[in-house]
Amino acid sequence: MTIATSSGSPEIVQLDRRSKLLRQMIVRAFLAARRGHIGAAFSIVEILRVLYDHVLHYDPKNSRWPDRDRFILSKGHGCLALYAILAEKGFFPESDLTKFCAPDGILGGHPEYGKVPGVEASTGSLGHGLSLGVGFALAAKLDGRRHRVFVLLGDGECAEGTIWEAAMCAARDKLDQLTVLVDYNKQQTYGPTTDILEPFAEKWKAFGFAVQEVDGHNVSALKKVLEAVPLASQKPSAIICHTVKGAGVEFTERNLHWHHRTKVSEAEAASLLGALATD
């Protein structure tokens, strides 16, 4: 897999065993329902992995622990990746993944607060996650609490005006407990996002954020950046993660046919799992 880093130079990223295993969990849930957003889920695996391995403070046995850090998946259609990491961390049994979108399951096509342990907000209507995150961070600041709030946005979602309204509020109130991560895979359903967003980093800076760009599939680079937040005192942070839509399987990468899939053939199912084999 090749991605363009923030420096503009291409870098070859080899998925390690753990990244493949997480993608296998995503694929098994997807195949149980025979539907889902594979491209959107694959592009954020490493971001979520680093957050839940090294950055967020949480207790899977007490998902409402008051001092936990809050994570909001604003691009709710990428929920298969969130479900995989939450299951792996013990928020709910991994067997629940096989009931993705099933009438007797808890895991829907978008994450639902109050139904799925570890989910902080019901998302999927794009453009609202940052507003929720600003509210969470402002409440923490007013209450004198130091837990942090992380919001993961899709890049196509950043064309929504509500994103920038929320960004203005975050900077005005000096919410350095708030970190925005953008899954900058440069694709949306109708074409490239770069035509709309660039110069992207400069926009976040203009709205009062401290900004860092990073290879969104490089675990060590992500860890270094995320462990350093807040990037500046009294400023919210924005981390632009350069990713590949559908990353990890050659025939799903940058392939909008895999943005959302239904009616997957047995051959395609076998190819997905075969591409993620760890032996």
Looking at the chain, the whole-number percentage of residues with pLDDT higher than 90 is 86
Pairwise CA distance, residues 4 & 10, whole Å: 5
Burial of 175 (0-12, 13-18, 19+ CB in 10 A): buried
Task: Give residue-wise pLDDT tens across range 171-203.
Answer: 999 999 999 999 999 987 777 888 889 999 999
Pairwise CA distance, residues 40 & 186, whole Å: 11
* Mean pLDDT score, 93-109: 97
Closest CA to 151 of 126, 174, 172: 126
Angle at which helices 129-142 and 161-172 pack, to 10 degrees? 20
Tell me the domains of the chain and their CATH numbers: 2-7+17-259+266-275 (3.40.50.970)
Looking at the chain, the whole-number percentage of residues with pLDDT higher than 70 is 95
Residue 12 has pLDDT above 90, yes or no: no
Task: Give residue-wise pLDDT tens across range 148-169.
Answer: 999 999 999 999 999 999 999 9
